[in-house]
Amino acid sequence: MAAGLTAFGFAPILVRLAPDTSPLVLVVYRTAFAVLMLLPFWLWQRSSEKRKGKGKERLWIVLSGACLGLHFICWISSLYYTSVASASVLVTVHPIIMILVERLWYKRGFATTTWIGVVMAFGGSLLLGISDSQIEQSFADPLFGNFLALTAAIIFVFYLLIGQKIRQKREWVDYVFPVYFYAAATCVLVAVVLGKDLTNISTIGIWAGAGLAFGPQILGHGSMNFAVKYVSPTLLSTLILAEPLLASVLAFVLFAEMPPLTSILAMCIILAGVGLTWRRGSSKKSG
């Protein structure tokens, strides 16, 4: 998980290295490279076990892959419109969304501090959106970029929930490889439907796609897919909060991206709000 979380932090930096490549084209190369990298390992380690319910599992895996592909499309696209710091914070608000899903879907109750955290994170997100819409840096459309990052976070919650359901019955590679395959298929389909030329990519774009495949996708998402069998999705989504901190520091050092003070304040409020939800999880577990 430590290696995976570190790899997540480099994801937006790798995207920034290929500014002339369409985000849809970049995400196609990312997902396709991940499939090719895992193919030999899957052929070697895949399970030939026959049991009931595998056909139904495949439908869930197709849905999981589609969710992951759409998550990548929204997430990578957001970095072309807003700052690394804002996109990285908003895409990691999974715990807040997860709690809302658990409350509305599973009718689970939560402590008052948890709901304080939800309100803080929501208020911080609004403040971040207002602040970023007024910045004078050369971002194409910060408000739209923030919306894409938040959409990516919502889709990722459903991806995590499906992963927890299927990983209880499948080994890591038997879940990850087909999910990555269907994620790649989803990205290719969306890119083709929108008329993107998949051959229009620079050498730097190809290397960035390969780096995103090996680091954030195989190490990052792969470690999460391994851990989700043993750890709750809510706790996993909270651990990803390491990503925006590392990504923001790297973006400042490499690209001189310094968010305005209001945006920094909003990010701190969001992280503090999510931290309150994590305290709910840890105290509940220890009790």
Count: domains in the chain = 1
Q: What is the pLDDT of residue 101?
A: 80
* 216-238 as b/e: b if 16+ CB within 10 A: bbbbbbbbbbbbbbeebbbbbbb
Please give the pLDDT value at position 287. Answer: 39
Residue 29 CA to residue 32 CA, distance in Å, equals: 5
What are the mean pLDDT values of the chain's consecutive 10-residue runs (287 residues total)?
75 86 94 95 77 72 94 92 80 76 75 78 73 63 87 89 80 88 96 93 93 90 76 62 68 72 80 69 42
**Residue 198 parent element (H or E):** none
* pLDDT on residue 276: 76
Give Cβ neighbours of residue 181 (< 8 Å, ≥ 6 apart): 35, 65
* R_g (Cα) of the chain, nearest Å: 19
Report the C-alpha gap between 95 and 279 in whole angstroms.
11
What does the pLDDT read at residue 132? 60
Report residue 27 as tokens: 């995400």
The torsion region of residue 105 among left (phi > 0), alpha (psi -120 to 50) and beta comes to: alpha
The per-residue pLDDT for 281 is 47
What is the reported pTM?
0.78
Range of the domain at 82: 2-44+53-286
**Greatest pairwise CA separation for the chain in angstroms:** 59
Q: Is 194 exposed, middle or buried (0-12, 13-18, 19+ CB in 10 A)?
A: exposed
